[in-house]
Amino acid sequence: MATGLLLLVNSSIFLAVLLGNNDAFPFYAAKTLPGLAAGEWWRLVTAGYLHIYPIHIIMNMMSLYNIGPIAEEIFGTRRIFTIWTISTVCGFLLSAVWTKAPSLGASAGIFGLMGALIAVGVMSKHPYARDLQKQLMINAGIGFIIGSLPMFPIDNAAHLGGLIGGFASAWVAGFPRPFDDAREKLWSLASIVALGLTIYAFYEVAMKLTQTAVKL
């Protein structure tokens, strides 16, 4: 359910910005150093749902479609949205430290899911988990190499931050434990907090857009 929701929200926002020719939305929602320095913390969340070019959204949504269901099946919907949110924030935090360039895209969260699945290979001794871990480490490595090429404007810092955030949060979250009711309630609460934070972040962007429209 979380993967489907993420696919829907990312695609809907892209279409809304594209069809509405709305440059103001990315202006207030992307990760930028001046914005973060001004206290606009929500950019660390909303930047993970923004895409400008069709090839960008297509590649990211294909990756999410392939990786998301596997991660969600292992960790459950409650944990996966929390892992996604933490990974996105960690990714753009590291990006803010690493580079002054603006940044956006779901790839921080996607690398977070990759990090979570790599953590599965560490936590589990099952051969499938180990094979998946190796494959994802290779894919992540290829992604970092491509991101290092000058002809591709890819934010490797966001990818690295997302990968670390995903691995760490999955390590802490562990696998769902149906008989540990207190622990599962804690992760239910965490997912609600992550969802509430995301909704409030977009509310802040909406307020900025409203203020801009009023001034015009």
Q: Is residue 215 part of a domain?
A: no
Q: Is residue 99 part of a domain?
A: yes
Q: Of 159, 169, 188, 191, which is the active-site residue?
A: 159
Mean pLDDT of 46-75: 93
Domain containing 16 equals: 2-206
Q: CATH number, domain at 164? A: 1.20.1540.10
Q: Is residue 160 part of a domain?
A: yes
34 has pLDDT over 80: yes
Per the annotation, the verdict on 107 as an active-site residue is: yes
Q: Is residue 183 part of a domain?
A: yes
Q: CA–CA separation, 136 vs 176, rounded Å?
A: 22
Q: Please give the pLDDT value at position 214.
A: 60
Per the annotation, the verdict on 191 as an active-site residue is: no
Q: CA–CA separation, 48 vs 25, rounded Å?
A: 13
Q: Is residue 211 part of a domain?
A: no
Cβ neighbours for 161, distance < 8 A, ≥ 6 positions apart = 87, 90, 91, 92, 93, 94, 95, 108
Q: Is residue 65 part of a domain?
A: yes
Q: What is the pLDDT of residues 122-151, one digit of tens each?
A: 888 788 888 888 888 998 888 888 878 777
pLDDT cut 90: percent of the chain above it: 61
Q: Is residue 212 part of a domain?
A: no
The two tokens of residue 179 are 């008989």
Q: What share of the chain is helix, strand, coil (3-state, %, to 5)?
A: 80, 0, 20
Q: Of 87, 107, 169, 191, which is the active-site residue?
A: 107
Q: Is residue 216 part of a domain?
A: no
Q: Please give the pLDDT value at position 58.
A: 95
Report the domain count for the chain.
1
